[in-house]
């Protein structure tokens, strides 16, 4: 859906007004996006789009911008809102040095003069927060275990076994057998149609880790499977989950089995990995005329 832009008459005091409006201050306006109690108003969003167009960064034809472009911009702003929240959770402030790095880079770009003042401040804010995000560290093992037990996908990495079968009834049978005390790895060897399941016990990992980054799952796995994985809990056989390949039973592995590989995977890029998990599990809503938030792909998609 194309978005029709309306010229707005308001002013923005600073980047926080654009990136993370409080629920109180935005209650009287329509929200383009919401994450938890923080909202981005339609007016703020459309001003950003308009100034991107004025700067030649976005195609606006007869006052309209394509749905794909509007979703892309809104997705970037949503990520910025989530980053603001995450930095607060992890106690990692944006510093004057962060802002100076970004401002110095902007001064070297000849296109900076084309930016509207609100758009320039937004760019500084988003990029400064990305620098701060790089300083976020992996939580300690106690905190990791607590989050893993409550909402494993929130960590941005998944440590799973799964069993793929041809029909729903077989998937239900597998779940019942597991609940009756049978070993999941042995059930995978017996029932899974996935090649190598007898040897792997249904483990989904890579050549270097027994866990997978959620971002890799979102881009490389069937969306139906990913949706199920996001809902799965530690040591609980979850399913049946339908995908284009068949029916799955998903098991989030016990923390004590995967604590070390999980920690190692998170240590590669803690901030962005944790942010992916935060976005995938957060309470997010999008104004329906712009699209909807789709956790399995980590994107705003068309309705």
224-246 pLDDT, tens digit per residue, is 999 999 999 999 999 999 999 99
Asked if 19 and 77 count as a contact pair (C-beta separation under 8 A), the reply is: yes
Q: C-alpha angle with apex 279: 275 to 284, nearest 5 degrees?
A: 150
Residue range 123-144: average pLDDT?
97
Domain ranges of the chain: 3-136+277-301, 141-268
Q: What is the pLDDT of residue 188?
A: 98
% of the chain at pLDDT higher than 70: 90
Q: What is the pLDDT of residue 114?
A: 86
Q: What is the pLDDT of residue 156?
A: 98
Say which residue the tokens 């483990």 belong to.
203
Residue range 185-194: average pLDDT?
97
Residue range 51-72: average pLDDT?
90
* 252 closest CA partner among 296, 189, 203, 179: 203
Residue range 171-186: average pLDDT?
98
Q: What is the pLDDT of residue 125?
A: 96
Rg (CA), the chain: 22
Query: Can the peptide bond before residue 240 be classed as cis, meaning omega within 30 degrees of 0?
Result: yes
Residue 20 has pLDDT above 70, yes or no: no
Q: Domain 141-268 belongs to what topology? A: Chitinase A; domain 3 (3.10.50)
Q: What is the pTM of this model?
A: 0.88
Q: The tokens of 197 are what? A: 């399941």
275/79 Cα distance (integer angstroms): 8
Residue 178 has pLDDT above 60, yes or no: yes
DSSP secondary structure of 68-107: HHHHHHHHHHHHHHHHHHHHHHTT-PPPHHHHHHHHHHHH
Q: What is the pLDDT of residue 112?
A: 86
The helix-helix angle for 67-89 and 117-133 (nearest 10°) equals 50
Residue 86 has pLDDT above 70, yes or no: yes
How many other C-beta atoms are found inside a 10 Å radius of the C-beta of residue 296?
19
Q: What is the pLDDT of residue 14?
A: 31
Residue 7 has pLDDT above 70, yes or no: no
Residue 6's pLDDT band (boundaries 50, 70, 90)? very low
Across the chain, mean pLDDT equals: 90
Residue 64's pLDDT band (boundaries 50, 70, 90)? confident
């Amino acid at each position: 859906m194309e978005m029709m832009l309306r010229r707005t008459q308001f002013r923005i005091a600073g980047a926080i007004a654009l990136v993370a409006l409080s629920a109180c201050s935005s209650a009287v306006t329509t929200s383009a996006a919401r994450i938890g109690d923080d909202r981005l108003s339609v007016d703020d969003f459309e001003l950003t789009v308009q100034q991107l167009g004025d700067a030649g960064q976005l195609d606006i034809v007869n006052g309209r911008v394509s749905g794909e472009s509007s979703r892309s911009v809104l997705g970037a702003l949503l990520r910025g809102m989530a980053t603001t929240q995450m930095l607060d959770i992890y106690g990692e402030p944006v510093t004057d040095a962060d802002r100076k790095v970004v401002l110095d880079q902007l001064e070297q770009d000849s296109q900076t003069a084309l930016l509207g003042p609100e758009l320039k401040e937004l760019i500084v804010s988003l990029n400064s927060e990305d620098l701060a995000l790089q300083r976020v560290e992996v939580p300690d093992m106690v905190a990791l275990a607590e989050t893993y037990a409550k909402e494993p996908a929130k960590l941005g990495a998944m440590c799973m076994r799964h069993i793929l079968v041809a029909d729903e009834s077989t998937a239900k049978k597998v779940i019942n057998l597991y609940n009756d005390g049978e070993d999941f790895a042995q059930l995978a060897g017996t029932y899974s149609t996935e090649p190598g399941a007898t040897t792997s016990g249904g483990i989904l990992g890579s050549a270097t880790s027994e866990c997978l980054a959620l971002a890799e799952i979102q881009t490389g796995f069937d969306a139906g499977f990913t949706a199920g994985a996001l809902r799965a809990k530690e040591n609980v056989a979850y399913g049946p989950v339908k995908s284009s390949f068949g029916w799955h039973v998903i098991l989030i592995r016990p923390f004590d089995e995967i604590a070390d590989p999980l920690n190692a995977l998170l240590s590669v890029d803690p901030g962005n990995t944790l942010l992916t998990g935060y976005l995938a599990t957060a309470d997010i809503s999008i104004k329906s005329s712009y699209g909807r938030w789709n956790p399995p792909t980590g994107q705003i998609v068309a309705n």
